[in-house]
Copies of this chain bind each other. A is one copy, B any other.
Amino acid sequence: MAVHPIDYRYGSQEMRALFEETNLHAKKLAVEAALAEVLAEKGFIPREAAATITANARPEIVTVERVKQLEAETKHDIMALVKALTEVCGEAGKYVHLTATSYDIVDTALALVLRDALGLIVRKAKLLLGELLNLAEKHRSTVMVGRTHGQHAIPITLGFKLANYADKLGDDTRRLEEDKERYIVGKFSGAVGTYAAQQLLGLGDEIERGVMQKLGIPVAYISTQVVPREHLARIVADLAILAGTIEQMAKEVRNLQRTEIGEMGESFGKGQVGSSTMAQKRNPINAENICSNVRIIRSCVGPALENIALEHERDLTNSAAERSLLPTVFVLTDEILDRSRKVWAGIDISEERMRQNLDMSRGALMAERIITELVRHGMGRQDAHELLRESSNQALAQNTDIKSILIRSKAMNFLRTDELDGLLDYRSYIGLAEKKVDDVVARWRGLAKS
């Protein structure tokens, strides 16, 4: 039975498969095969040997189990892999792994895994982005209260709120797409990065270029025994930032689903149980789950940063940490992307509660507008501000409408009653909210569909 939740609970099957032991194993074999082929092309090993190696460099033939048996003896994972591959290749065995050092295989295989994993994240981020853009368009004009500090401020539209998230999500996604092109690189530069072994064969960095071309992955510009860990740190940090955006959206669901607010809520499946004892409850469990998993995602950044400062031409202190942090950060980011999409695709919106909540403040949230108008009509700004502050405090104290306070105030030296009515129509006080929705949709629709 499984121990860590990314092994039994979180993450799509597709993402988990990428980080299963077998996949990294398969990718290492693929690198060994690519190496053999390049060596054959360069005329350094027989073409038939390369063919034999390639034919056998498959996880069904060279199994994880066999490698583990051998590792128990040698205490060295890649030597075990090489032995396991060698032993099934007969005569061709002696050409296995030639000129390679362990980390040529490991780091390049890891790059193949990460390329796929980051590709999957980007794909799902675009799906979520698309979902948000749709929802923002749909609710382009749905008026609700804007809040700062948990307090009612002035009106916005739901579409505007979502457009803010979408824009951030677009930025996050674009950056991850760039990271994928720039920072996932392979290497085949030997034990300390000098290509010393290959150079003996007069090949320089040709093997490196050949192998990476076969595998479709860019080459590290320079490397030691390993590729720069700065690259991984950048990717992990950018995943954590994406997670931050998704957390913000999930927190919003949790807050707007509060019993007292009720403006939106996670859809509630038939037969779903909110609480074992409190049958009436509808809990934002997916949004809470997202917020919780984001804490773990964020916690992966620290070790990724500590992994940068390896000693000399490398030490091993990045290795075990990456074994934990890379699957964790990718599988959990995959999880929250899927879960977020599910939440937003099925979100229940209550326009009625939005209206009720707007009405709660009985106009006080239009203070800014009224101040501006009073100033336009000649009142001093500080005076107007003071007037509105007092009026809204009075309205609160007297549990009444701000209008009934203002109508008896010196505001009426500057405004007519009908003007005051218009000013208090918060539905007309949403500024460029709708235009901004359009702008954001225009900005990111292409990426979402790509």
Contacts and interface: CB of A to CB of B under 8 A. Distances in A.
A188 to B, nearest CB: 12
A365 interface: yes
B221 A360 contact: no
Nearest to A312: B147
A285 interface: yes
Nearest to A16: B3
A308 to B, nearest CB: 3
Given A97-B381, A163-B222, A237-B301, A295 B282 contact: no
A105 B71 CA distance: 42
A46 interface: no
A375 B94 CA distance: 9
A66 interface: no
A225 B270 CA distance: 26
Interface in A1-44: 1-11, 16, 19-22
Contacts of A432: 189, 194-195, 199, 204-205
Task: Tell me how many chains of this kind the complex includes.
Answer: 4
A404 interface: no
B148 A313 contact: yes
A253 to B, nearest CB: 10
Contacts of A317: 288, 291-292, 295
A242 to B, nearest CB: 9
A281 interface: yes
Given A277-B191, A299-B299, A198 B431 contact: yes
Interface string A343-377: 00000000000000100110011011101110110
A102 to B, nearest CB: 5
A320 B156 contact: no
Interface string A303-332: 101111111111111111101110110011
Nearest to A324: B296
A197 interface: yes
Given A164-B223, A312-B252, A320 B430 contact: no
Query: Chain A: interface residue count, which band?
Result: 35 or more
Interface string A226-248: 00111101100110110011011
Given A150-B312, A151-B259, A299-B303, A277 B4 contact: no
Contacts of A319: 288-289, 292
Given A82-B276, A86-B381, A191-B275, 19 more contacts: A76-B273, A76-B274, A86-B382, A101-B277, A148-B225, A148-B278, A154-B196, A156-B193, A160-B194, A164-B228, A191-B277, A200-B376, A234-B238, A244-B309, A245-B309, A273-B389, A277-B367, A277-B371, A280-B395
18 contacts: A8-B21, A75-B285, A98-B381, A146-B313, A150-B258, A153-B192, A154-B192, A156-B193, A156-B313, A197-B368, A199-B431, A222-B440, A245-B309, A247-B309, A279-B391, A280-B361, A296-B303, A301-B305
